[in-house]
Structure 1
Amino acid sequence: MEAVAMEKSVSKSDATNNRMELPMKSLGNFPIPAGQNYFNFVALDTLGRRWGFKVSIRNVGRYKKPWMSGQWRRFAREKGLKKGDRVKLTMHVEGNVVRSYHITAERNLTMRIWIPVEEFAR
C-alpha cells in the first residue's frame, strides 16, 4: 500500500537551508527509535536516484517539531526548488512495515496542476 508520509509547500528558508521543517502531523510516519531523536532513511526520486535523509526532533522541551536534513540541501539545489514548490514523501507499506520511501518535488503550473520539477529542466 502506498501512503503519503509528508506533503509540504516549500518555504524560502526550506529552499536555501540545510534542512526543511516538516509538518508535525507527519512525525508518526518516521519510526524514530526510543531513546533517539532521529531516523535515517533513503528515498528514491522520480528519476530513480537515491537520496539519504534524516528526520530529527529536538532532544529537550515539549515542542518536538521535526525537520529533515541529510542530503536535503543538495536535493533542493539540484531540483532548483523555490518558495511555493511542493515536496511529497510517500511510503510503500507492507503489513505494518515501511518498505521504501519516494520523494517528489513539484511546481505549480496552474491553479490545480502540479508537475515534477524535472519537467522544467527540459
Structure 2
Amino acid sequence: MEEVAMEKSVSKSDATNNRMEFPKESLGNFPIPAGQNYFNFVAMDTLGRRWGFKVSIRNVGRYKKPWMSGQWRRYAREKGLKKGDRVKLTMHVEGNAVRSYRIRAERNLTMRIWIPVEEFAR
C-alpha cells in the first residue's frame, strides 16, 4: 500500500537552494539509522527518472528541523519549481520492510486542481 510520506508547499528558498526544509512530522517515514543524522534514499518521479535524496537532521542542539538535499537543487531546477508549487513524496513498504519512494511536483491550476509540473512544459 502506498502512503504519503511527506507533502510540502515549496517556499522561495526551497526552489533556489541546495536543500528543502522538511516537515518535522514526516521524519518518521525516513528511518535514520541510530547514531547517524541522515538517511539516503532514491525516489522515482512521474517520468520514471530516479533521483537521489538525503534527509538530514541537526545532530547538535534541540532544534531538529530536518531538510532534504542530495539532488534536490537539480530536481527543483529541472522541474521549474517555484514558490507555491507542491512536492509530494509517497512511500510503499514491502513485506520485508523495504521502502520505495516516489516524488511528484505539482502546480496549482485552480483552487482545487493540482497537476504535475511536467504538464506545464508541453
Q: TM-score range by the shorter chain?
A: over 0.9
1:34-78 deviations in Å (ceiling 9; x for gaps): 000000000000000000000000010111111000000000000
TM-aligned CA deviation for residue 115 of structure 1: 0.1
Q: Hey, what does 2:86 align to over in structure 1?
A: 86
Q: Against the structure 1 CA distance between its residues 88 and 2, is the aligned structure 2 distance closer, same or farther, given a 3 Å change threshold?
A: same
1:99, distance to aligned residue in structure 2 (A): 2.6
Deviation at 1:86, TM superposition (A): 0.1
* Secondary structure of residue in 2 paired with 1:14: helix
* CA distance in structure 2 between the partners assigned to 1:99 and 1:66 by the alignment: 19
The Cα shift of 1:96 comes to 6.9
Quick one: distance in 1 between partners of 2:39 and 2:75? 18
Question: Aligned partners of 2:5 and 2:96: how far apart in 1?
Answer: 14
Q: How far, CA to CA, are the matches of 1:95 and 1:116 in structure 2?
A: 30
SS of residue paired to 1:34: coil
Change (3 A) 1:43 1:31: same
1:70 alignment partner in structure 2: 70
Aligned-pair distance for 1:95?
3.9
Aligned residues: CA RMSD: 0.9
CA deviation string 1:81-107 (max 9, x = no partner): 000000000001124724310000000
Deviations along 1:1-21, whole A, 9 cap, x unmatched?
101110000000000000000
CA distance in 2, matches of 1:78, 1:111: 25
SS at match of 1:120: helix
Matches within 5 A, 1:85-104: 85-95=85-95, 97-104=97-104
Moved over 3 A (4+): none
Matched positions, count: 122
C-alpha distance in structure 2 between counterparts of 1:106 and 1:30, whole Å: 22
Q: Distance in 2 between matches of 1:121 and 1:23?
A: 28
Contact 1:91 1:98 in 2 (8 A): no
Alignment pair present for 1:52 and 2:52: yes
